[in-house]
Structure 1
Amino acid sequence: MSSSSAHPWSPTRWAENGSVRLAFDQLAEGADGEPLLLVTGLGANRHWVPDGLCRMLAAQGFAVVRYDQRDGGESTHFPPTTNRNPISALFTKRGAAYTAEDMADDAVAVMRALGWRSAHLWGVSLGGAVAQRVALRHPGRVRTLTTMASVPGDIAGLRTMRNIRMGTLAKFARLKFPDTPEGAVAAGVAVSALLASSNRPFDERAARASAANNIDSGIHDPQAQSRQISAQWHGPPISAITQPTLVLHGEDDPLIKPSAAKAIASRIRDSRMVLLPRVGHELPECAWGIITTELGKLAAVSHHRPQPPAN
């Protein structure tokens, strides 16, 4: 086995945004390709993005980097706040811990640490909203924008609820597991089952193996998730986004309604929406080919567009 196969990712590196430290790593394969920054979802660390998918992106011509958002993975975690679960965070005072602008600036901090003037951005779930905000706040840093399984990045509160299946969010918020490695594995299996497509058999054995290889307490940390959800956006609407944009969404997403993808695509000029069959709120292997092909097409479009200066 080659060293790149045994250790496909670089050692953990760190970026800084003020007092916040952000953990990231880079795929060894395709490191000389076009920069692609992966933005993770609610509470999840960067290891939830499948290695096989990242290798396919590298084969498509991308240099793949993933990072842990603040309050996730190895990045800086914040003190407890009054919001105790993600549902209450939708209704209570927002932005107490940090703002959505801060989270957008985190992505740029990672780019600076890498020496990247700009990159293609792909955000999943909450990461999709963050990526939209990066495109608004730092347009010169974003070559293309891909948002998947996300809500529009400029909505909050009750307007957010229109796009979310509250029954699933309630189940998600009720998950209780001990703060132990065994509890994290059990949480990983439960979350994977909850977010999977109902039109594919759920492979519990594979989910358990994946969770055992990625002990991530963030997926059952309601406090951290609440702080991420509570980060309020004060910037312009997503209709101001001008970068080539792709909107991906699973047809069977049990958490975020496909209408959210339609809303994003309708408001970003010249964006394109692709619904993924037999896909829930997840990144299953059956969708990897479509995802990598679509991101490759989008990158090709960007080659013919002038880039604004990076800030």
Structure 2
Amino acid sequence: MSEPTPITPELPWNPVRWARNGRIRLAVDQLPAPPDSEPLLLMTGLGAGRLWFPDGLCRLLAAQGFAVARYDPRDGGASTHLPPAPVRNPLTALFARRGEAYTAEDVADDAAAVLDALGWRSAHLFGVSLGGAVAQRLALRHPGRVRTLTSMAAVPGDAAGLGTLRYVRLGTLAKFARLKFPDTPEGTVAAGVAVTRLLASPARPFDEQAARRTAARNADRGLHDAQAQSRQIGAQWHGPPISAVACPTLVLHGADDPLIKPTAARTIARRVPGARLVLLPATGHELPAPAWPTIATELHHLATGAEPLKSQR
């Protein structure tokens, strides 16, 4: 892994390139990095596109020696959106017996196609929320392509249907599903602020102006597209259990997560051989700035095999 490289706040992302998995087209971009940097793929959550990864965190990761890339999942951001499915409510889709539009295997294959587009034979993975479950599934379905796995704020990748119930705070998910905003630029920004408030830790004052600026920069109607979210959350996994994950694994979770219970993180850490768990204080279902240094340091330790910080179980 290369030595940490200073990176300026103004450093731009490279132009968007496109990965393809059959009829699915996926938007991908990458921070400029030295040739010997370690490849790191960021995988985002339900209804969110790649721009919701904070640039400040991405720059910290690059400064740790990573070549940082991110992509919009199917039904998110600039990537392909599928036609409407019969199940149009995320809460209902969560407990459906099978996905109507595509499977979780299809979504894992999307991530493999992104690695192909980047020219990466393998990479470190950092998946957040639904992206964490997708990262777990990629490590199971394409193990030779995953160097290390970091899953944050996620449920076990092999949980499905009613088995997910024990990990999700259904009251928060119901609030999330009930958010209604007009399909306008203003409505998209308002949805971004509302989602940010809903998922933030109550241990920190909520900065509405900062949330509004972030939502305005990263306007993505996926945050209030219930049909797209239903297709994403309804994609069911039919592969091996997460106990078959064989790569070095780190499990991060916000101690104050209002959507996914810390029980989910403890379950992943217990079932994946050798996995470590780190709980992030004053962190909800989010990537707040105070947690960035810990996240970047933990990923660096995992990638290099350095002595990690103390695990929390």
1:221 to 217, 220, 225: 225
| TM-score of the two chains, using structure 2 as the length reference | 0.94
2:114 pairs with 1:121: no
Q: Shift of residue 83 of structure 1?
A: 1.1
After superposition, what is the alpha-carbon deviation per residue over 1:4-23, rounded to whole angstroms, capped at 9, x for unaligned?
A: 75451011110000110000
- Taking the TM superposition and a 5 Å limit, the aligned residue runs for 1:1-311 are 5-6=9-10, 8-29=12-33, 32-301=36-305
RMSD between aligned residues: 1.3
Q: Shift of residue 96 of structure 1?
A: 1.5
Do the aligned partners of 1:35 and 1:120 also contact (CA within 8 Å) in 2? Answer: yes
| Separation in 2, partners of 1:289, 1:4 | 16
| Separation in 2, partners of 1:38, 1:264 | 19
Q: Which amino acid aligns with 1:201?
A: P
- Runs of 5+ unmatched residues, structure 1: 303-311
After superposition, what is the alpha-carbon deviation per residue over 1:46-100, rounded to whole angstroms, capped at 9, x for unaligned?
A: 0000001000000101000000000000000000011121101022342221110
After superposition, what is the alpha-carbon deviation per residue over 1:101-135, rounded to whole angstroms, capped at 9, x for unaligned?
A: 01001111011111100000010000000000000
| Separation in 2, partners of 1:142, 1:161 | 28
Q: 1:22 aligns to what SS in structure 2?
A: strand
Q: Which amino acid aligns with 1:154?
A: D
Q: Which amino acid aligns with 1:153?
A: G
| Separation in 2, partners of 1:29, 1:167 | 42
| Separation in 2, partners of 1:234, 1:14 | 27
Do the aligned partners of 2:125 and 2:150 also contact (CA within 8 Å) in 1? Answer: yes
| Separation in 2, partners of 1:154, 1:84 | 23
Do the aligned partners of 2:33 and 2:66 also contact (CA within 8 Å) in 1? Answer: no
In structure 2, relative to structure 1, the CA distance for the partners of 1:5 and 1:292 (3 Å cut) is closer
In structure 2, relative to structure 1, the CA distance for the partners of 1:193 and 1:30 (3 Å cut) is farther
| Separation in 2, partners of 1:241, 1:40 | 20
Do the aligned partners of 2:9 and 2:56 also contact (CA within 8 Å) in 1? Answer: no
Q: 1:21 aligns to what SS in structure 2?
A: strand
Q: Shift of residue 32 of structure 1?
A: 4.3
| Separation in 2, partners of 1:183, 1:54 | 27
| Separation in 2, partners of 1:182, 1:130 | 31
In structure 2, relative to structure 1, the CA distance for the partners of 1:188 and 1:31 (3 Å cut) is farther
Q: Which consecutive aligned stretches of 4+ in structure 1 deviate over 6 angstroms post-superposition?
A: none
- Runs of 5+ unmatched residues, structure 2: 1-6, 307-313
Q: 1:265 aligns to what SS in structure 2?
A: helix
In structure 2, relative to structure 1, the CA distance for the partners of 1:31 and 1:200 (3 Å cut) is farther
Do the aligned partners of 1:54 and 1:64 also contact (CA within 8 Å) in 2? Answer: yes
Indicate the percent of aligned positions where both proteins have the same amino acid: 71
After superposition, what is the alpha-carbon deviation per residue over 1:176-210, rounded to whole angstroms, capped at 9, x for unaligned?
A: 00000000000000000000000000000000011
Q: Which amino acid aligns with 2:147?
A: R
| Separation in 2, partners of 1:301, 1:235 | 29
Q: Shift of residue 28 of structure 1?
A: 2.0
| Separation in 2, partners of 1:142, 1:211 | 31
After superposition, what is the alpha-carbon deviation per residue over 1:253-284, rounded to whole angstroms, capped at 9, x for unaligned?
A: 00000000000000001100000000000000
Do the aligned partners of 1:31 and 1:62 also contact (CA within 8 Å) in 2? Answer: no
After superposition, what is the alpha-carbon deviation per residue over 1:202-261, rounded to whole angstroms, capped at 9, x for unaligned?
A: 000000011011111001111000001111111000000010000000000000000000
Q: 2:250 aligns to what SS in structure 1?
A: strand
Do the aligned partners of 2:21 and 2:110 also contact (CA within 8 Å) in 1? Answer: yes
Do the aligned partners of 2:150 and 2:251 also contact (CA within 8 Å) in 1? Answer: yes
Do the aligned partners of 2:97 and 2:161 also contact (CA within 8 Å) in 1? Answer: no
